[in-house]
Amino acid sequence: MNETSLLDELASMRAELASLRAEVAHLKGTAATDGPHADADGATEPVPELAVTSRRRLFALAGGAAATAVVAATVGASRPAAATNGDPLVIANNTGSTAGVKVISTYLNYEVSSGNPDDKNLFVVGDATVAAFNPPNPAAISGHAAKHVDIGVLGTATRSTGTGVRAIATSTDFASTALHATSVGGIAMVAASQNASDLRLNGTGRLVLGQHIASGPPTSGNYFQGELVRDANSDLFFSRTSGLSTQWRKVVFEDALPAAATLPPQLHIIEPTRVYDSRLPGFGDRISDGGSRSVSVANGIDINSGAVTVADVVPAGATAIQFTFTIDAAQNNGFLAVTPGDAATFKASTINWSPTTPNIASGSLCKLDANRTVKVFAGGGGSTHFLIDVTGYYL
């Protein structure tokens, strides 16, 4: 119904209301002149029901007319026009402003794709002037998590080729933003996939890390394992642990290295793991003065049985180990020297004992051969059992 039809109906209802008012006035006059009529038994005749009915009808019509007047007045005022099928529906027309921001209108458009009737889209288009605001600019869609709601905006794709949330910036302005996520104390955005990439950068494939700290690595604060941060010098730091006492590793780039060069091996600390014990069956028993023994440090073993429990605890390609070297039940005087597995002789001792120190331990480092073995030489006249516990490796 358009504005003209509503105004015509209002005029018709006003005419009927005037007619009813005249009828009620006539009935009131008749009742006052004649008074109540008595029948043969002396009963009083009531006022005609038409008067009461007419009053009720009058009030109903009066209320309806008032409501219609409000509708007509609303139609006459400035408001969004009704949408026809397929056109956007204007659900807001805010002519006010906040901090210089004037939101002109917001549209809803539920569209059925012509190519596939199952592809239905709901468009929310914000038409606003750009000015300072909090958040920085007006948003077409805003998801606000408060009270018992944890997620502001959630996008879920169930198709194998689907995308939960896709942000596209079509403006040629270098500063335009496709996706803007902010957080006061929590995580601004979480992206999770069951089988593919959690986060993919299409288009130019560019990723920008904002400055996190003046000069890294951070020395305070609570961090997650796996975080990557940048300081003012554009140095990158990777967190190896979580919590308040985070261990950081600097990401190193060596632009001047030749193509065939490699970076120096890095120490990888591991849980202390036994790799050799001469006291266990099958491990060679005691070693005596003048003897030598090749020992593999590749696999971790059970401390009671000697069975392999951690395969490749020192991985292939490792160049050296950090270890604890222990002698047990040593006799007389003597020493042991730990060398790389392919060494023909030794140049220094690793541990020494005497009759008063038959059980001692010492920490040391040793280079490995290509097979992840070391060679142990015995000297000094005595004999002993020995154990090797790896605490780290270089790779």
* Res. 118: pLDDT tops 60: no
For the chain, the distance separating the N- and C-terminal CA atoms, rounded to the nearest angstrom, is: 80
Mean pLDDT in residue range 160-182:
70
pLDDT, averaged across the chain: 74
pLDDT of 51: 44
Which of the listed ranges 77-91, 123-137, 212-226, 354-368 does the model predict with the highest average pLDDT? 354-368
Looking at the structure, tell me whether residues 28 and 66 fall in a common domain.
yes
pLDDT of 70: 38
Task: Confirm whether 229 is domain-assigned.
Answer: yes
Looking at the structure, tell me whether residues 93 and 71 fall in a common domain.
no
Residue 17 — very low, low, confident or very high, per pLDDT cuts 50/70/90?
confident
Looking at the structure, tell me whether residues 12 and 67 fall in a common domain.
yes
Q: Which of 357, 338, 355, 356 is nearest to 347 (CA)?
A: 338
* Res. 82: pLDDT tops 90: no
Task: Confirm whether 198 is domain-assigned.
Answer: no
Higher pLDDT, 305 or 230: 305
Q: Are 312 and 341 in contact (CB under 8 A)?
A: no
Which of the listed ranges 47-61, 187-201, 299-313 does the model predict with the highest average pLDDT? 299-313
* Res. 341: pLDDT tops 60: yes
Looking at the structure, tell me whether residues 66 and 93 fall in a common domain.
no
CB-count burial class (<10 Å; 0-12, 13-18, 19+) for 353:
buried
Mean pLDDT in residue range 2-25:
70
Q: Are 206 and 214 in contact (CB under 8 A)?
A: no
Measured distance CA(267)–CA(36) in Å, rounded: 115
Looking at the structure, tell me whether residues 228 and 281 fall in a common domain.
no
Q: Parallel, antiparallel, or unpaired: how do β-strands 228-231 and 211-213 relate? A: parallel
Write the DSSP symbol of residue 138: -
308 three-class SS: strand
Residue 119 — very low, low, confident or very high, per pLDDT cuts 50/70/90?
low
Looking at the structure, tell me whether residues 286 and 307 fall in a common domain.
yes
Looking at the structure, tell me whether residues 19 and 58 fall in a common domain.
yes
Looking at the structure, tell me whether residues 235 and 345 fall in a common domain.
no
Looking at the structure, tell me whether residues 245 and 288 fall in a common domain.
no
Looking at the structure, tell me whether residues 231 and 302 fall in a common domain.
no
CATH of the domain at 306: 2.60.120
Mean pLDDT in residue range 332-357:
96
Residue 269 — very low, low, confident or very high, per pLDDT cuts 50/70/90?
very high
Q: Compute the Cα dihedral for 79, 85, 86, 91 and give only its sign.
A: positive
Question: Could you identify the residue written with the tokens 């992840």?
Answer: 372
Q: Parallel, antiparallel, or unpaired: how do β-strands 89-92 and 236-239 relate? A: unpaired
Q: Are 223 and 248 in contact (CB under 8 A)?
A: no
Mean pLDDT in residue range 207-233:
84
pLDDT of 63: 46
pLDDT of 226: 85
Residue 156 — very low, low, confident or very high, per pLDDT cuts 50/70/90?
confident
pLDDT digits (tens, 9 = 90+) for 272-282: 999 999 999 99
75-89, 249-263, 334-348: least confidently modelled range: 75-89
- For the chain, the domain total comes to 4
Task: Confirm whether 196 is domain-assigned.
Answer: no
Higher pLDDT, 101 or 31: 31
pLDDT digits (tens, 9 = 90+) for 35-63: 554 444 444 444 444 444 444 454 444 44
Task: Confirm whether 51 is domain-assigned.
Answer: yes
* Res. 230: pLDDT tops 80: yes
Which of the listed ranges 70-84, 153-167, 249-263, 363-377 does the model predict with the highest average pLDDT? 363-377
Percent of the chain at pLDDT > 70 equals 60
Q: Which of 117, 195, 192 is nearest to 155 (CA)?
A: 192
Task: Confirm whether 389 is domain-assigned.
Answer: yes
110 three-class SS: strand
pLDDT of 389: 98
Q: Are 357 and 384 in contact (CB under 8 A)?
A: no
Residue 142 — very low, low, confident or very high, per pLDDT cuts 50/70/90?
low
Task: Confirm whether 149 is domain-assigned.
Answer: no
Looking at the structure, tell me whether residues 63 and 104 fall in a common domain.
no
Residue 167 — very low, low, confident or very high, per pLDDT cuts 50/70/90?
confident
Residue 311: which domain range?
267-394
Two structure tokens written together for 75: 């139609």
Looking at the structure, tell me whether residues 111 and 72 fall in a common domain.
no
Task: Confirm whether 191 is domain-assigned.
Answer: no
Task: Confirm whether 139 is domain-assigned.
Answer: no
* Res. 335: pLDDT tops 60: yes
Higher pLDDT, 135 or 70: 135
pLDDT of 129: 43
